[in-house]
Amino acid sequence: MNDEKRVAIKTEQVTKEYVGGTFTAVDDITIDLVEGEIIAFIGPSGCGKTTMLRMIAGLEHPTYGSLTVYNENVDKYLPIHGPGPDRGMIFQAYTSFPWLNVLDNIEYGMKITGVPKDERRAKAEEMLKLVHLEDFRDYYPASLSGGMKQRVAIARTLAQNPEVILMDEPFGALDAQVRWEMQEMMIDVINRESKTVIIVTHDIQEAIYLSDRIIFYTRTPGKVKANLEMDFKKGERYPIKEDCLSLPGYLDIEKKLFSMMREEIV
Protein backbone atom coordinates (compact mmCIF):
# COMPACT_ATOMS: atom_id res chain seq x y z
CA MET A 1 0.00 0.00 0.00
CA ASN A 2 3.00 2.32 0.48
CA ASP A 3 4.91 1.65 -2.78
CA GLU A 4 4.15 5.06 -4.27
CA LYS A 5 4.47 7.08 -1.09
CA ARG A 6 7.49 9.10 -0.01
CA VAL A 7 9.59 8.19 2.98
CA ALA A 8 8.89 10.77 5.71
CA ILE A 9 11.74 9.87 8.09
CA LYS A 10 14.87 7.81 7.53
CA THR A 11 16.90 6.22 10.31
CA GLU A 12 20.22 4.80 9.15
CA GLN A 13 22.38 2.60 11.39
CA VAL A 14 21.25 4.50 14.47
CA THR A 15 22.90 3.52 17.75
CA LYS A 16 22.34 5.20 21.10
CA GLU A 17 24.78 4.69 23.97
CA TYR A 18 24.71 6.00 27.54
CA VAL A 19 27.12 6.15 30.46
CA GLY A 20 30.20 6.71 28.31
CA GLY A 21 29.39 3.85 25.98
CA THR A 22 28.93 1.22 28.70
CA PHE A 23 25.19 0.83 27.99
CA THR A 24 23.63 0.55 24.53
CA ALA A 25 19.91 1.32 24.35
CA VAL A 26 19.39 0.79 20.61
CA ASP A 27 21.84 -0.71 18.15
CA ASP A 28 22.15 -0.29 14.38
CA ILE A 29 18.53 0.66 13.60
CA THR A 30 17.78 1.25 9.91
CA ILE A 31 14.13 1.80 9.00
CA ASP A 32 12.14 3.96 6.60
CA LEU A 33 8.98 5.56 7.99
CA VAL A 34 6.60 6.13 5.11
CA GLU A 35 4.43 9.21 4.67
CA GLY A 36 0.84 8.60 5.72
CA GLU A 37 1.57 5.41 7.63
CA ILE A 38 0.70 4.54 11.21
CA ILE A 39 3.72 2.68 12.56
CA ALA A 40 3.82 1.00 15.97
CA PHE A 41 7.05 0.40 17.90
CA ILE A 42 6.66 -2.56 20.24
CA GLY A 43 8.95 -4.88 22.17
CA PRO A 44 9.84 -5.87 25.73
CA SER A 45 10.21 -3.23 28.44
CA GLY A 46 13.52 -1.38 28.19
CA CYS A 47 14.16 -2.32 24.54
CA GLY A 48 14.79 1.27 23.46
CA LYS A 49 11.58 1.99 21.54
CA THR A 50 10.91 5.21 23.49
CA THR A 51 14.55 6.19 23.07
CA MET A 52 14.12 5.78 19.33
CA LEU A 53 10.96 7.87 19.37
CA ARG A 54 12.69 10.62 21.36
CA MET A 55 15.56 10.72 18.87
CA ILE A 56 13.07 11.10 16.00
CA ALA A 57 11.47 13.94 18.00
CA GLY A 58 14.90 15.56 18.39
CA LEU A 59 14.78 15.32 22.19
CA GLU A 60 17.82 13.03 22.18
CA HIS A 61 20.60 12.46 19.68
CA PRO A 62 22.12 9.26 18.30
CA THR A 63 25.64 8.28 19.28
CA TYR A 64 26.18 6.88 15.79
CA GLY A 65 24.18 6.87 12.58
CA SER A 66 21.82 9.44 11.13
CA LEU A 67 18.19 10.52 11.35
CA THR A 68 16.71 12.64 8.58
CA VAL A 69 13.27 14.06 7.89
CA TYR A 70 11.86 15.07 4.51
CA ASN A 71 11.40 18.83 4.17
CA GLU A 72 8.88 19.75 1.50
CA ASN A 73 10.02 23.39 1.33
CA VAL A 74 13.48 22.45 0.05
CA ASP A 75 12.47 19.04 -1.39
CA LYS A 76 15.18 17.08 0.37
CA TYR A 77 15.99 15.23 3.58
CA LEU A 78 17.44 17.27 6.43
CA PRO A 79 19.21 16.00 9.56
CA ILE A 80 17.21 15.96 12.79
CA HIS A 81 19.15 18.13 15.23
CA GLY A 82 16.33 18.97 17.62
CA PRO A 83 12.54 19.39 17.93
CA GLY A 84 10.78 21.04 15.00
CA PRO A 85 7.29 22.13 13.92
CA ASP A 86 7.20 19.24 11.44
CA ARG A 87 7.02 16.75 14.36
CA GLY A 88 4.49 16.85 17.20
CA MET A 89 4.89 14.79 20.38
CA ILE A 90 2.12 13.37 22.59
CA PHE A 91 3.27 11.88 25.90
CA GLN A 92 1.66 9.39 28.29
CA ALA A 93 1.64 12.00 31.06
CA TYR A 94 -1.06 14.64 30.72
CA THR A 95 0.56 17.85 29.53
CA SER A 96 -2.25 20.42 29.72
CA PHE A 97 -1.53 23.69 31.49
CA PRO A 98 -3.76 23.72 34.60
CA TRP A 99 -4.23 27.51 34.53
CA LEU A 100 -5.64 27.47 30.97
CA ASN A 101 -9.03 26.19 29.90
CA VAL A 102 -9.42 23.60 27.13
CA LEU A 103 -9.69 26.12 24.29
CA ASP A 104 -6.69 28.15 25.48
CA ASN A 105 -4.64 24.97 25.93
CA ILE A 106 -5.29 24.01 22.33
CA GLU A 107 -4.38 27.50 21.15
CA TYR A 108 -1.20 27.70 23.22
CA GLY A 109 1.26 26.19 20.72
CA MET A 110 -0.07 28.35 17.92
CA LYS A 111 0.15 31.43 20.15
CA ILE A 112 3.85 31.00 20.91
CA THR A 113 4.61 30.48 17.22
CA GLY A 114 2.91 33.76 16.32
CA VAL A 115 -0.30 32.57 14.66
CA PRO A 116 -2.77 35.51 14.57
CA LYS A 117 -5.52 35.39 17.19
CA ASP A 118 -8.48 34.95 14.82
CA GLU A 119 -6.70 32.23 12.87
CA ARG A 120 -5.66 30.24 15.93
CA ARG A 121 -9.12 30.56 17.48
CA ALA A 122 -10.73 29.18 14.32
CA LYS A 123 -8.23 26.30 14.21
CA ALA A 124 -8.74 25.52 17.90
CA GLU A 125 -12.51 25.42 17.40
CA GLU A 126 -12.03 23.02 14.49
CA MET A 127 -9.82 20.74 16.63
CA LEU A 128 -12.35 20.82 19.49
CA LYS A 129 -14.96 19.33 17.17
CA LEU A 130 -12.51 16.79 15.78
CA VAL A 131 -11.79 15.34 19.24
CA HIS A 132 -15.39 15.77 20.46
CA LEU A 133 -14.69 18.36 23.17
CA GLU A 134 -16.75 21.27 21.88
CA ASP A 135 -18.97 21.13 24.99
CA PHE A 136 -15.91 21.38 27.28
CA ARG A 137 -14.14 24.38 25.74
CA ASP A 138 -14.33 26.46 28.95
CA TYR A 139 -13.38 23.65 31.36
CA TYR A 140 -10.02 23.52 33.13
CA PRO A 141 -7.89 20.35 33.19
CA ALA A 142 -8.69 19.62 36.86
CA SER A 143 -12.32 19.09 35.83
CA LEU A 144 -11.53 16.64 33.01
CA SER A 145 -11.14 12.87 32.93
CA GLY A 146 -7.87 11.29 31.83
CA GLY A 147 -9.27 10.53 28.39
CA MET A 148 -10.41 14.12 27.94
CA LYS A 149 -6.99 15.42 28.98
CA GLN A 150 -5.38 13.28 26.29
CA ARG A 151 -7.89 14.58 23.76
CA VAL A 152 -6.75 18.10 24.64
CA ALA A 153 -3.12 17.07 24.08
CA ILE A 154 -3.99 15.47 20.74
CA ALA A 155 -5.98 18.53 19.64
CA ARG A 156 -3.17 20.90 20.65
CA THR A 157 -0.65 18.87 18.67
CA LEU A 158 -2.86 18.64 15.59
CA ALA A 159 -3.61 22.37 15.72
CA GLN A 160 0.06 23.06 15.02
CA ASN A 161 -0.24 20.97 11.85
CA PRO A 162 2.86 18.78 12.15
CA GLU A 163 3.58 16.35 9.33
CA VAL A 164 4.52 13.60 11.78
CA ILE A 165 2.82 12.79 15.09
CA LEU A 166 4.88 10.92 17.69
CA MET A 167 2.95 9.18 20.48
CA ASP A 168 4.64 7.67 23.54
CA GLU A 169 2.22 5.26 25.30
CA PRO A 170 -0.52 7.90 24.92
CA PHE A 171 -3.30 5.69 26.31
CA GLY A 172 -1.26 3.69 28.82
CA ALA A 173 -2.72 5.39 31.90
CA LEU A 174 -6.36 5.01 30.83
CA ASP A 175 -8.78 2.29 31.86
CA ALA A 176 -9.77 -0.38 29.31
CA GLN A 177 -13.04 1.20 28.15
CA VAL A 178 -11.61 4.70 27.68
CA ARG A 179 -8.56 3.23 26.01
CA TRP A 180 -10.46 1.53 23.19
CA GLU A 181 -12.65 4.62 22.77
CA MET A 182 -9.49 6.70 22.36
CA GLN A 183 -8.04 4.18 19.92
CA GLU A 184 -11.14 4.41 17.73
CA MET A 185 -11.07 8.19 17.94
CA MET A 186 -7.42 8.20 16.81
CA ILE A 187 -8.27 6.13 13.72
CA ASP A 188 -10.95 8.68 12.83
CA VAL A 189 -8.69 11.67 13.51
CA ILE A 190 -5.68 10.32 11.63
CA ASN A 191 -7.78 9.38 8.60
CA ARG A 192 -9.22 12.89 8.48
CA GLU A 193 -5.90 14.66 9.02
CA SER A 194 -3.73 12.38 6.82
CA LYS A 195 -0.74 12.35 9.14
CA THR A 196 2.25 10.08 9.52
CA VAL A 197 2.06 8.58 13.01
CA ILE A 198 4.58 6.66 15.10
CA ILE A 199 3.20 5.17 18.30
CA VAL A 200 5.12 3.42 21.09
CA THR A 201 3.04 0.87 22.97
CA HIS A 202 3.42 -2.25 25.11
CA ASP A 203 -0.08 -3.39 24.12
CA ILE A 204 0.04 -5.92 21.28
CA GLN A 205 -3.68 -5.64 20.52
CA GLU A 206 -3.44 -1.84 20.41
CA ALA A 207 -0.46 -2.02 18.05
CA ILE A 208 -2.28 -4.37 15.67
CA TYR A 209 -5.49 -2.36 15.68
CA LEU A 210 -3.93 1.07 15.20
CA SER A 211 -1.01 0.41 12.91
CA ASP A 212 -0.38 -0.27 9.26
CA ARG A 213 3.05 -1.63 10.16
CA ILE A 214 4.76 -2.86 13.33
CA ILE A 215 8.46 -2.53 14.11
CA PHE A 216 9.30 -5.14 16.77
CA TYR A 217 12.44 -4.52 18.86
CA THR A 218 14.57 -7.11 20.60
CA ARG A 219 15.43 -6.82 24.28
CA THR A 220 18.31 -4.47 25.15
CA PRO A 221 20.22 -3.51 23.15
CA GLY A 222 17.23 -2.88 20.95
CA LYS A 223 17.55 -4.11 17.37
CA VAL A 224 14.84 -4.59 14.76
CA LYS A 225 13.59 -8.14 15.26
CA ALA A 226 10.79 -7.83 12.70
CA ASN A 227 9.24 -5.30 10.33
CA LEU A 228 5.66 -6.50 9.86
CA GLU A 229 3.02 -5.15 7.49
CA MET A 230 -0.54 -5.64 8.72
CA ASP A 231 -1.46 -7.32 5.44
CA PHE A 232 -4.59 -8.94 6.84
CA LYS A 233 -6.25 -5.48 6.86
CA LYS A 234 -5.74 -5.16 3.09
CA GLY A 235 -4.94 -1.46 3.38
CA GLU A 236 -8.01 -0.59 5.43
CA ARG A 237 -8.35 1.05 8.86
CA TYR A 238 -11.34 0.16 10.99
CA PRO A 239 -13.22 2.82 13.00
CA ILE A 240 -14.95 0.05 14.99
CA LYS A 241 -12.37 -2.06 16.81
CA GLU A 242 -14.24 -5.37 16.84
CA ASP A 243 -14.46 -5.22 13.03
CA CYS A 244 -10.67 -5.43 12.97
CA LEU A 245 -10.46 -8.13 15.67
CA SER A 246 -12.81 -10.40 13.70
CA LEU A 247 -10.85 -10.24 10.42
CA PRO A 248 -9.31 -13.43 9.04
CA GLY A 249 -5.61 -13.28 9.87
CA TYR A 250 -5.96 -11.18 13.01
CA LEU A 251 -5.39 -14.08 15.40
CA ASP A 252 -2.41 -15.26 13.38
CA ILE A 253 -0.55 -11.95 13.71
CA GLU A 254 -1.52 -11.66 17.39
CA LYS A 255 -0.14 -15.15 18.13
CA LYS A 256 3.02 -14.35 16.19
CA LEU A 257 3.64 -11.17 18.17
CA PHE A 258 2.97 -12.83 21.53
CA SER A 259 5.40 -15.61 20.55
CA MET A 260 8.04 -13.05 19.59
CA MET A 261 7.52 -11.20 22.86
CA ARG A 262 7.91 -14.45 24.82
CA GLU A 263 11.17 -15.18 23.00
CA GLU A 264 12.54 -11.82 24.14
CA ILE A 265 11.45 -11.87 27.78
CA VAL A 266 12.20 -15.50 28.70
Q: How far is Cα of residue 134 from the mean position of the Cα atoms in its chain?
A: 24
Name every residue whose Cβ is closer than 8 Å to that of residue 71 and which is 6 or more positions away in sequence: 77, 78, 86
Sign for the CA dihedral angle at 218, 225, 262, 196 comes to: positive
Name every residue whose Cβ is closer than 8 Å to that of residue 207 and which is 6 or more positions away in sequence: 40, 42, 199, 201, 214, 257
pLDDT per position as a tens digit, 112-158: 888 999 999 999 999 999 999 999 999 999 999 988 999 999 999 99
User: What is the number of other CB atoms lying within 10 angstroms of the CB of residue 204?
Assistant: 20
Reply yes or no on whether the pLDDT at 168 is more than 50. yes
247: left (phi over 0), alpha (psi -120 to 50) or beta: beta
Which range is least confidently modeled, 21-35, 173-187, 201-215? 173-187
What is the predicted pLDDT for the residue at 3?
Answer: 52
With both helix axes pointing from N to C terminus, report the angle between 117-130 and 176-193 in degrees, rounded to the nearest 10: 130
pLDDT per position as a tens digit, 62-77: 999 999 999 888 889 9
pLDDT per position as a tens digit, 87-110: 999 988 777 899 999 999 999 989
What is the predicted pLDDT for the residue at 1?
Answer: 46
Reply yes or no on whether the pLDDT at 4 is more than 80. no
